[in-house]
Amino acid sequence: MCGPGRREGTEVSAPQETLWQSTIGANTDQRPALDGDTTADVCIVGAGYTGLWAAYYLRRRDPSLDVLVVEANSAGFGASGRNGGWCSALLPQGVQAMARRHGRPAALAMRATMVDTVQEVEDVVRAERIDCDFRRGGTVVVARNPAQLARARAEVAHDQEWDGVDGLQLLDAAQTRERIGVADALGATYTPNCARIQPAKLARGLAQVVERNGARIVEGTRATSVRAGAVETEQGTVRARHVLRATEAWTPALHGHRREVVPVYSLIIATEPLPQAFWAEAGLASGETFSEHRHVIVYGQRTADDRLVFGGRGAPYHYGSAVRPQFDQEPAVFAALQTALVDLFPTVEGAEITHRWGGPLAIARDWHASVGYDPASGLGAAGGYVGDGVSTTNLAGRTLADLVTGNESELTRLPWVGHRSRHWEPEPLRWLGVNAGLRLAQLADAEEARTGRPARLGKVLAALTGH
């Protein structure tokens, strides 16, 4: 872990291969880099989901637009191609926090639009024939001690207070076992608003669709600065009327954006394909994604080829908002994930862990994702998804397309449009604060496992994360 007094840079060289990449094989059709100065109507920096969705909808809104996407590595290299594969209606900011700032109707509109966005992604995947193992089975979040069960009940009651917009249901122990065979589950919450996907397949397929629709993508082209009318890269300058930044966890590497978000790592393990005897007990037969009502976030899915993929937070924030390939590998975190997975599914013990990987996600200071565009300068940006980006990026792409083309719509009136989060504190306060928050979550989980009562630290965490 990098601590105060040591400053790390940012690199984009290849990290450990993910399960997702290994199952689709190497990309033999590497796109060329930018070859000198050029022009475009719209230049998008970053070929992750946000940039690709923005390019897709811009060309649909106005096929005459010359859209160029500039990518430092390859399309889907970052979180878009290495996440846990949840296409959900989740947002990092809570509905109450949105309502306090923007009012109840705006908060409800944002939540309802996120629910609709899961369907929008499915519609595009079907229409464009993108093979990404899309299966809408919802999400089941298990409660395994009384404190977690109390939190599950509170979440369902909270959803009902907000017109049941998330469709959250409380399952008893028997109903939980019908969906997921987790050891000692007392109950669970369930929402239908999530689909399992293979994220690298979605990224690759979407990039191909974007190119078929007439947009350009250049890879191996690292942007060094973004300003009104131009993107400076190591291979040349792109001059464009509209410049959209979709750099997420890599944002602090750009000049002038060091404290805009913090990159925090999430790590994932994957088992070998598991036999049907295991799945007869473990369930997840409808493609449900799963989690647990704990404070340190964990997430999992049953893949199309019957593996368990299981990930979570726990890796440290690195001093100076550093992003490096070696940060994808934290043996202690991988070991903790494997222990937690066996705790959930005891019969998985002894199965081979075939893949271990990770990557950074971006967190804004108030945990509030946002979309912005200034018509005067032509500058726009979206991000701050805190790991909830698979579907949120689709909404961001549609919204950016409307903003750039001047289409006033329900999307451009949503409360995250134009939202500005204050900057993170300078170092070493940033390093101390982010890692202290992680430690608080770990201590809260340990307290609840020991006492069965809601941890007092949980309220502190909720305040820090805007919920």
pLDDT given for residue 67 in this prediction: 98
What pLDDT band is residue 3 in, cutting at 50, 70 and 90?
very low
440 within 8 A of 460, measured Cβ to Cβ: yes
Q: Is the pLDDT confidence value at 1 over 50?
A: no
Per-residue pLDDT tens digits for 118-149 = 999 999 999 999 999 999 999 999 999 999 99
Q: Phi and psi for 242 in degrees, rounded to 5?
A: -120, 130
Mean pLDDT of 58-78: 97
Per-residue pLDDT tens digits for 168-220 = 999 999 999 999 999 799 999 999 999 999 999 999 999 999 999 999 999 99
pLDDT given for residue 367 in this prediction: 93
Smallest CA-to-CA distance from 154 within 184, 190, 189 is with 189
Query: Whole-structure pTM over 0.75, yes or no?
Result: yes
pLDDT given for residue 261 in this prediction: 97
What is the rounded CA–CA span in Å between residue 461 and residue 439?
10
Per-residue pLDDT tens digits for 365-408 = 999 999 999 999 999 999 999 999 999 999 999 999 999 999 99
Smallest CA-to-CA distance from 388 within 278, 271, 467, 287 is with 467
> How much is the mean pLDDT over the chain?
93
pLDDT given for residue 457 in this prediction: 66
DSSP 32: P
pLDDT given for residue 25 in this prediction: 76
Mean pLDDT of 355-365: 96
Per-residue pLDDT tens digits for 85-112 = 999 999 999 899 899 999 999 999 999 9
DSSP 169: E
End-to-end Cα spacing for the chain? 29
What pLDDT band is residue 10 in, cutting at 50, 70 and 90?
very low
pLDDT given for residue 353 in this prediction: 97
